[in-house]
Structure 1
Amino acid sequence: MSGREGRFDELARLGVATVYEASGRQGLIDEDFVQLIPGTAVAGPARIAVCGPADNRAVHEAAARTRPGDVVVLTMDNPVPVAVVGDLLATQFKAQGAAGLLINASVRDADTLRELGLPIWARWIRVRGAAKAHRGTIDLPAVVGGTLIRPGDAVLMDGDGAAVVPAQRIDEVVAAGRAREAKEAKAREQYLAGGLSYDLHGFRAADEKGSP
């Protein structure tokens, strides 16, 4: 692993579940998101837009500010099922080099978005359109799914959902994730050889002694 991009690639490879556990069970973005393209996994620095109520004007500004590798986080103070991204905005984000979109609101044109190939996680799929009356805020911290996300924090997403790693903890969490991965690989070998977690964790011995 080398360089800025390598750290994000490694987070994506390790995956949300491993990173969440390795970080001390911190950073879970605890909402149900629809993964529009199954099998995708991305990680990158957060580019954040907080939209006005049922509004997507801020999304247009976010597209103009997006840089290659960004994970664009789009949310509202009180999210509602209004489509803040469709085919045309998603095309702009892809052309700007976004790694993916995390949308705490709705998307529409879902079939076209899948064909476009940009990894997108959305709270809802709804056709109801957004207004464009409020500028909202760009590149300021936001809370999504009960978790604070700051510009530049690592946001990662895969089939298990989404998580965030504070920018200053990325190297630490990557190292802890690799260690956890190695430990799990060893356990997997033991299980394939017939071992049982009931024994390896000491649960059988404790139960036979009558321990809680």
Structure 2
Amino acid sequence: MEHVMERFQRLPLGNICDANGKRGSMDPAIRPVDPSLHMVGRAYTVRCHPGDNLAIHKAITEAPDGSVLVIDAGGYTGGGHIGEIMCFACMQRGIRGLVIDGTCRDADDIQALGFPVFSRGFNPGGTVKETVGQTEIPIVCGGVPVRPGDLVVGNRDGVVVVAKENIEAVLEGAEAIARKEVRVLEELKQGRTTAEIYQFSKIL
């Protein structure tokens, strides 16, 4: 599986989304703390009560090495569910990244850690630790259904979720699209237009 992750890491996110039937792209409001970082891993899902991050602490102790935490916080933006300490704890556990439909805090410190975090925004306010919440269940994050074990890929463009049963097919399709785009760029260098290459001239 590690080789598969490396192949996904090299691909443009747009190619992955196209090969995924143009599905699985999260709400564009969920953005990376550090746009230079890429993230690929299997989803370890979390549903926490908005404004309560106890379930995330639970998930950090449970998630297997190589996971990406995908957290449904109900889109809550009244406080930061994730900060520097929790991100460092994730790194110590081998977690590859984190996506939260909610806000985080300590953005500068998270960026300095080099840990990929995708969130709906930032809020320095705190959260409570009162409700255990649920882990390893189907959730919705950024408008996209996510199940445990689905593939999660993120970069500057956003986050795409690939259903676990489609991983191999989407990977092969995305690589084929990437190869085609290399050929298209070569044809453009030779003076052809996109309308000619994609045969749009008949309808333009």
The TM-score bracket by the shorter chain reads over 0.9
- Following TM superposition, by how much is the alpha carbon of 1:79 offset from its aligned partner in structure 2, in angstroms? 3.0
Q: Please tell me whether residue 150 in structure 1 is matched to residue 151 in structure 2.
A: no
The equivalent of 1:136 in structure 2 is 133
The equivalent of 1:174 in structure 2 is 171
Segments of 5+ residues of structure 2 without an aligned counterpart are none
User: Equivalents in 2 of 1:147, 1:155: separation in Å?
Assistant: 11
Counterpart secondary structure, 1:206: coil
Distance 1:38 1:53, change over 3 A: closer
The equivalent of 1:210 in structure 2 is none
Counterpart secondary structure, 2:76: coil
The 5-angstrom pairing of residues 1-212 of structure 1 reads 4-207=1-204
Q: Give 1 or 2 for the bigger CA radius of gyration.
A: 1
Q: For each residue in 1:84-121, what CA deviation from the matched residue of structure 2 results, as whole angstroms up to 9, or x when unmatched?
A: 11111111001001111112111111111111111111
User: Equivalents in 1 of 2:184, 2:12: separation in Å?
Assistant: 18
- Following TM superposition, by how much is the alpha carbon of 1:148 offset from its aligned partner in structure 2, in angstroms? 0.6
User: Equivalents in 2 of 1:181, 1:69: separation in Å?
Assistant: 25
Number of equivalenced pairs: 204
Q: For each residue in 1:114-143, what CA deviation from the matched residue of structure 2 results, as whole angstroms up to 9, or x when unmatched?
A: 111111111111111111111111111101
User: Equivalents in 1 of 2:175, 2:153: separation in Å?
Assistant: 16
Segments of 5+ residues of structure 1 without an aligned counterpart are 208-212
TM-score of the pair, normalised by structure 1:
0.91
Counterpart secondary structure, 1:164: strand
User: Equivalents in 1 of 2:196, 2:117: separation in Å?
Assistant: 41
- Following TM superposition, by how much is the alpha carbon of 1:78 offset from its aligned partner in structure 2, in angstroms? 4.7
TM-score of the pair, normalised by structure 2:
0.95
User: Equivalents in 1 of 2:121, 2:152: separation in Å?
Assistant: 19
User: Equivalents in 1 of 2:188, 2:35: separation in Å?
Assistant: 28
Q: Does the aligned pair in 2 maintain the 1:66–1:93 contact within 8 Å?
A: no
- Following TM superposition, by how much is the alpha carbon of 1:12 offset from its aligned partner in structure 2, in angstroms? 2.1
| Alignment RMSD | 1.3
User: Quick one: which amino acid aligns to residue 161 of structure 1?
Assistant: G
Q: Does the aligned pair in 2 maintain the 1:15–1:156 contact within 8 Å?
A: no
Counterpart secondary structure, 2:24: coil
Q: Does the aligned pair in 2 maintain the 1:9–1:42 contact within 8 Å?
A: no
